Structure 1
Amino acid sequence: METRTVEVEEFKIKGYGLKGPLSEIPGKWDVLNTELAEKDIVVEESFGLCLAMKDAEIHYIAGIKSNLAERLQNIEEAVVPAGKFIVAKVEGGISGIQSAFNELMKMDGIQLRNSFSFERYIHAEGSDGYEIEVWLPIE
């Protein structure tokens, strides 16, 4: 797995939140994608932000950068603090996300820091598809 390290400034994500089972995550993406299409909001990236996880319950936001979300309603906001992340491209689509996170966490020399991990979906202009990256906060 190829990785890179990225240092980011603080940024805000706004979107549709979930506090419940992992199985409900796709429904939040359906709501977000429908709202973006209906409101004709074009984005180059979107984020699946994990705010907390305990057992099979997750606090998650399917969202976009806050400056693009002004016309979305009934949304939740989270601030991703500035800091360093180890980033890897996900192979195999959405079903490969968890294994990509697991591989990153098992890497030698990785020291996690207290922040949010997330998926980043990169929507190439003119493409119907997207690439997925996982971002894990590190020291």
Structure 2
Amino acid sequence: METRIEHVEQFTVKGYEMHGPVTHIPKLWDELNRVIQEKGASPEESFGITLGMDNGNFHYLAGIRSDFAEGFSDTKEFLIPSGKFIVAKVEGGVEDIPAVFNALLRNPDVKFRHSYGFERYIHPVGTEGYEIEVWVAIE
């Protein structure tokens, strides 16, 4: 698995959150995508942020950069802090996201910092499909 290091300036993700089993996450994405279409927004990336896990239940946010989400209602905002991240592309689709996170977290060559990891879905306007990356905060 190839990785790269990225430094980002802080940015805000705005979207929909849930507390529940992983099986509820696709419904959250369906809602986000419905509202994106309804509002005519045109983000070229979206984010899935696991804010916590407890006994098989996830606290998860599916969203887009806040400047593309004006007029969205009943949303939550979450700040991605500035800093470095180790990044890897997910080759096998959504079902391979946990394996990529686990591989990054076992990397002995980096020191992790306290922050949230996230999925980044890259979907340029005018293209079909999307690419998935996993981002984990490092020192």
Asked if TM exceeds 0.5, the reply is yes
Partner of 2:2: 2
| Aligned amino acid, residue 16 of structure 2 | Y
| Aligned amino acid, residue 48 of structure 1 | G
Distance 1:69 1:52, change over 3 A: same
**Where in structure 2 are the equivalents of 1:1-139 lying within 5 Å?**
1-139=1-139
Give the TM-score of the pair, scaled to structure 1. 0.96
Unaligned runs of 5+ in 1: none
The share of aligned pairs that are identical, in percent, is: 50
Give the TM-score of the pair, scaled to structure 2. 0.96
Instruction: Tell me if structure 1 keeps the 8 A contact 2:115–2:137.
Output: yes
Aligned residues, how many?
139
**Which runs of at least 4 in structure 1 moved beyond 6 Å after TM superposition?**
none
Unaligned runs of 5+ in 2: none
Cα distance in 2, alignment partners of residues 125 and 17 from structure 1: 24
| Aligned amino acid, residue 40 of structure 2 | D
Question: Per-residue displacement from partner, 1:15-37 (whole Å, max 9, x unpaired)?
Answer: 00011111111110000001111
Cα distance in 2, alignment partners of residues 39 and 105 from structure 1: 37
Instruction: Tell me if structure 1 keeps the 8 A contact 2:122–2:132.
Output: yes
